[in-house]
Amino acid sequence: MSALTLLSEDERLFRDSVYEFADREVRPLVREMDEHAKIPRHLIDSLFGLGVMAVEIPEAQGGAGATFFHSILAVEALSRVDPSIGVMVDVQNTLVANAFLKWGSDDQKQAWLTRLAGGSIGAYALSEAGSGSDAFGLATRAIESGDGFALTGRKLWITNANEADVFIVFATIDPKAGYRGITAFIVERGFPGFTVGKKEDKLGIRASSTCELLLEDCRVPRANVLGDVGKGYKVAIETLNEGRIGIGAQMIGLAQGALDHAVKYTKERKQFGKAIAEFQGVQFEIARAATELEAARLLVYNAARLRDAGEPFLKEAAMCKVFSSEVAERTASLAVNLFGGYGFVKDYPVEKLYRDAKIGQIYEGTTNLQLQTIAKQVLGS
């Protein structure tokens, strides 16, 4: 039995409906979005209408009230057509909404989850110039000021920043306290002293915005502290662990899309009087790619199931991100090879997927960091 046959009827119908939406509404826009590095607002509104921007948010706050696993299925299905759309949905669900669900007060949940379900996009601002893999080496400062805090610093590589209205920003209230000084703050676009800065010109997932954030004495009310003061490291660690499963879903969706294109093309492309799919060398490459994709999907689904069951999933999340990102890059590369010269030009879809795949081994924890996590779990250190 394949990973897909293990889905319940509800899960299968949900996944298929999201893919049908992506095929119908997203696919015609993929090249334009990549060239212009922008997602049109009408498509974002359609994603909200579909319900995939608020998968786990309770119905009382306007969400779908579904499971984490459903959000993973949505990210996979969208990424099969365009990983840029997949990562927008991923960050909204597995990082931003998830952080509010787990750490928000009742008032915060009512206020912010309702907005996130109703059309507002969220962003998750942890990374800085000097704190990438060293996620807690933050320079952004939060100083108590009146009935709140004043935030000053610069954030980099923030996904969804160009479209977001709500930002979870991590800053330290005491650099000498190390990770115990880190606090999560809810910052709104429009707060005085807060600016969305330069948009990065990226290799891949170009339609997904990646920007810097500038905070200059940005005043944040005390009521906008997410979780407890000094406990931001817990918010970051726990949400990023779940976010890595989301990136795994993005990567298996990308790999499936690349494999779909490769299979279709090899059946149509004729050389020496027959379709290249009839050559054993091509068949073996397709077979290996399909096998790796099945293994990657099982890893991603297993990690998501463990999370929903309340079981430990740290090692499994790291494993699924490492393996799925490598499989995505290999599968996209194979697709380019099988397309030959056509694979190297923008008139055909596989060169974009090849560019998109690279980021999977970098963001939300590099491959080396994931391997370190896995090693510690296996060795018990």
Catalytic annotation present for 285: no
Q: Which H or E run includes 299?
A: helix 280-308
SS3 207: coil
- C-alpha–C-alpha distance, residues 365 and 355, integer Å: 19
CA atoms within 13 A on the CB side of 269: 18
Residue with tokens 């206020």: 111
The residue annotated as part of the active site, out of 11, 76, 351, 364, is 364
DSSP 304-315: HHHHHTT---HH
252: exposed, middle or buried (C-beta count within 10 Å: 0-12, 13-18, 19+)? buried
The structure tokens listed for 322 are: 């490492």
Detail the DSSP E strand segments found in the chain: 122-125, 141-145, 148-159, 166-172, 182-188, 194-199, 210-221, 225-226, 270-271, 274-275
DSSP 316-367: HHHHHHHHHHHHHHHHHHHHHHHHGGGGGSTTSTHHHHHHHHGGGGTTTS-H
* Contact present, 88 and 328 (Cβ < 8 Å): no
Residue with tokens 């699924």: 320
Catalytic positions, written as ranges:
364
